[in-house]
Chain A
Amino acid sequence: MTSRVPSLILGRLLIALVTLTIVSFAVFFATTLLPGDTATILLGQAATPEAVAGLRTAMHLDEPALLRFVYWIGGLFQGDLGTSYANHMPVATLISGRLANTLKLAGLTTLVSVPLALTLGITAAMWRRTLYDRIVTIATIGVISVPEFVLATLAVLVFAVYLKWLPALSFTYNVDSFSGLLRAYAMPVITLTFGVSAQMIRMTRAAVIETLNTPYVEMALLKGASRPRMVLRHALPNALGPISNAVALSLSYLLGGVIIVETIFNYPGIAKLMVDAVSTRDLPLIQSCAMIFCFGYLILITTADIVAILSNPRLR
Chain B
Amino acid sequence: MKTNSSTGSLAAWSGYRINLVGLAAFSVVLFWALVALFAPYITPHSVGEMIDLDYFGPMRPGLWLGSDYLGRDMLSRIIYGARYTVGISLAAVSIACFTGVVLGMTSAVLRGPVDMVVSRILDAMNSIPSKLFGLMVVAAVGSSIPVLILTLSVIYVPGAYRFSRALAINIDTMDFIMVARIRGERLPYLIASEILPNIIGPVLADLGLRFVFIVLLLSGLSFLGLGVQPPYADWGALVRENIGGLPFAAPAVIVPSLAIATLTISVNLLIDNLPQKIRDRSAS
A and B touch in their complex, CB below 8 angstroms: yes
How far apart are the CA atoms of A137 and B21 in the complex, in Å?
Answer: 14
Known: A147-B236, A161-B247, A274-B135. A33 touches B219 (CB 8 A): no
Chain A residue nearest to B132 (CB atoms) is A293
- Inter-chain residue pair count (beta carbon < 8 A): 128
Main secondary structure of the interface of A (DSSP, over half): helix
Q: Which of A130-164 touch B at CB < 8 Å?
A: 133-134, 137, 141-142, 144-150, 153-154, 156-157, 160-162
Do residues B129 and A255 form an inter-chain contact, with CB atoms below 8 A?
A: yes
Contacts of B216 in A (CB 8 A): 146-147
Q: Give the contact stretch, choosing among B34-42, B87-95, B220-228.
A: B220-228
Chain A interface (Cβ < 8 Å from any Cβ of B): 18-19, 22-23, 26-27, 30-31, 33-34, 133-134, 137, 141-142, 144-150, 153-154, 156-157, 160-162, 168, 252, 255-256, 259-260, 263-264, 274-275, 278-279, 281, 286, 290, 293-294, 297-298, 301
B127 close to A19 (CB less than 8 A)? yes
Known: A278-B135, A286-B136. Is A252-B269 also a contact (CB below 8 A)? no
Q: Name the distance in Å between B77's Cβ and chain A's nearest Cβ.
A: 17
Is the Cβ of A153 less than 8 Å from the Cβ of B224?
Answer: no
**Cβ of A175 to closest chain B Cβ, rounded Å:** 24
Residues of A within 8 A of B139 (CB): 30-31, 34, 278, 281, 286
For A142, list chain B residues within 8 Å (CB): 261, 265
Minimal Cβ-Cβ distance residue in A for B129: A255
The chain B residues found within 8 Å of chain A, CB to CB, are 1, 3, 123-124, 127-132, 135-141, 212, 216, 219-220, 223-226, 236, 239, 243, 246-249, 253-254, 257, 260-261, 264-265, 267-269, 272
Q: Is the CB of B129 within 8 A of A30?
A: no
Partner of B136, one of A31, A133, A297: A31
Residue of A nearest to B140 (CB): A33
B239 to chain A, nearest CB (A): 6
B261 and A30 contact, CB distance less than 8 A: no
In the complex the two chains form, is A256's CB within 8 Å of B136's CB? no
Q: A149-B257, A168-B246, A274-B135 are in contact. List 13 more A-B contacts (CB 8 A).
A: A30-B136, A30-B137, A133-B1, A141-B268, A142-B261, A154-B257, A157-B254, A160-B247, A161-B247, A259-B220, A260-B220, A278-B139, A279-B225
B128: which of A23, A31, A133, A141 is its contact (CB, 8 Å)? A23
Within 8 Å CB of B123, what residues of A? Answer: 19
Contact (Cβ within 8 A) B246 A153? yes
- A34 and B257 alpha carbons, distance in the complex (Å): 33
Within the complex, the shortest CB–CB distance from B82 to chain A, in Å, comes to 16
Report the bound CA distance from A142 to B223 in whole Å.
20
Q: Tell me whether A255 and B268 are in contact in the complex, defined as CB-CB below 8 angstroms, given that A31-B140, A161-B246 are known contacts.
A: no
A161 to B127, CA, bound (A): 39
Smallest distance from the beta carbon of B59 to chain A beta carbons, Å? 16
Q: A149-B219, A161-B246 are in contact. Are A259 and B224 (CB under 8 A)?
A: yes
* Contact status A147-B137, CB under 8 Å: no
Q: How far is the CB of A95 from chain B (nearest CB, A)?
A: 15
Closest residue of chain B to A154 (Cβ to Cβ) is B257
Contacts of A279 in B (CB 8 A): 225
- B141, A33: Cβ atoms closer than 8 Å: yes
Q: Return chain B residues, CB-CB under 8 Å to A252.
A: 129
